[in-house]
Amino acid sequence: MDFSLTREQADIKRAAAEFARAEFTPEVAQECESNHRFPREIFEKAAKLGFIGLDYPEEIGGGGLGVTENVLVVEEFCKADSGIGMAMHLAYVPSKVVKLFGTPEQRKKFLAPLVRGDWVAAISLTEPNHGSDLTSMETSLEEEDDGFVLNGTKIFTTNAAYADFFVVLAQDEKEAPPGKGMTTILVESNPSSWLGGKLEINEIPHKMGIRTTSSGELVFHGLKVPKENILGERGRGLLNVLDFLDESRIEIAAQALGNAEGAYLKALNHARQRTQFGKPIIDFQGIGHRLGRLWSHLQSVKWLTYYAAWQCDHKTEHTSGTLPLITSMVKHHVPETAKMIIDETITVFGGYGYFLEQEVERRYRDNRIIEIYEGTVEVQLNNMVRILKKLNLDFIQSTLI
């Protein structure tokens, strides 16, 4: 067993921390939060330094590394600031579907501008009448001689207002059973790329958190796109998305990990410096014990996230079938635990923790969405139970040794 990072990984983690501390200043974070603005200028700087697309192919400008390296960057970005850190990650993580299933031409066209910081990606899965149920899609995809036509509505699309392209999941075969006959397709936001029809984008305002990003509704009015925009094999769309989620959910958990670490560090520093009755408040058991327990919780989610990333990067034929069990575990447990940690750090600050100035209340608001997007906590638990019912008991026992 070796729990240490490689030298390259340690360098990446350190560089990401230094960049985030320099760029994610409280003034910039508050300005983006107040104006609901995506800090594209910071995204461009991060891309130029190689932090965007670390696990994308080198031939299109990526780092050629793995999910673990992405996790380290996401963790450090969110540790520095939850709003900007999450916005940086959410700007490129949807494009992983292209990394996994795109043709060389699609990777060059859609991923190369993204890793340069010129483009932002989005993924549109959720629909008004189906929520977390990805086996039911009303958005339809119909083939014509010169392209594919989309009709339908998607909601809660992160980056909707400024994304340069969308990965859309649509029903390709009308009579297919639930979960079958779906296809993923790429849609550019630039109208000059359309062959007909219209894409309507409506902002969904007044979010609780991640106000550094846009969330919107996409309405496809007979939107026709070129045939070469089909992503992956037709009819395999849901499987494409599930394979994508096995990677992305681990990195989404890293958002929660970084958010909790950032809140904890602020609370620890406050407890050391804040004095009451002539001594630092960390010396009072009510505060000291709370910080001790939070440290234990923080280490547990840190190493669970790292382990999941390692498993994703080193999956074999023997372990690939259980990867969804691990990713669902990480996706429900890390955000839930991070919520508890951040909530407790607000208590350490007392009344001051409820105000914007201390930042921990904003971390709480930003973190809450991590339990919801890319599959709610309940969806992850359903996934885990379904897999646990099928796994061989000897295999389960071997994982507990």
The answer for residues whose C-beta is within 8 angstroms of residue 278's C-beta and 6 or more apart is: none
DSSP of 108-141: IIIIHHHHTTS--EEEE---TTTTT-TT----EE
CA distance linking residue 200 with residue 355, whole number of Å: 37
DSSP of 33-45: HHHT---HHHHHH
Distances (CA, A) of 83 to 214, 306, 311, 315, 366: 12, 22, 28, 32, 6
The answer for residues whose C-beta is within 8 angstroms of residue 21's C-beta and 6 or more apart is: 80
DSSP tag of 8: H
Residue 27: what residue type? E
Burial (CB count <10 Å: 0-12, 13-18, 19+), residue 393:
exposed
Q: What are phi and psi of 307, to 5 degrees?
A: -65, -40
CA distance linking residue 377 with residue 374, whole number of Å: 10
Radius of gyration of the chain (CA): 22
Q: Which candidate in 23, 188, 217, 374 is catalytic? A: 374
The answer for residues whose C-beta is within 8 angstroms of residue 128's C-beta and 6 or more apart is: 153, 155
Does residue 374 carry a catalytic annotation?
A: yes
CA distance linking residue 334 with residue 176, whole number of Å: 36
Distances (CA, A) of 335 to 8, 140, 238, 256, 259: 27, 33, 24, 5, 9
Supply the residues annotated as catalytic: 374
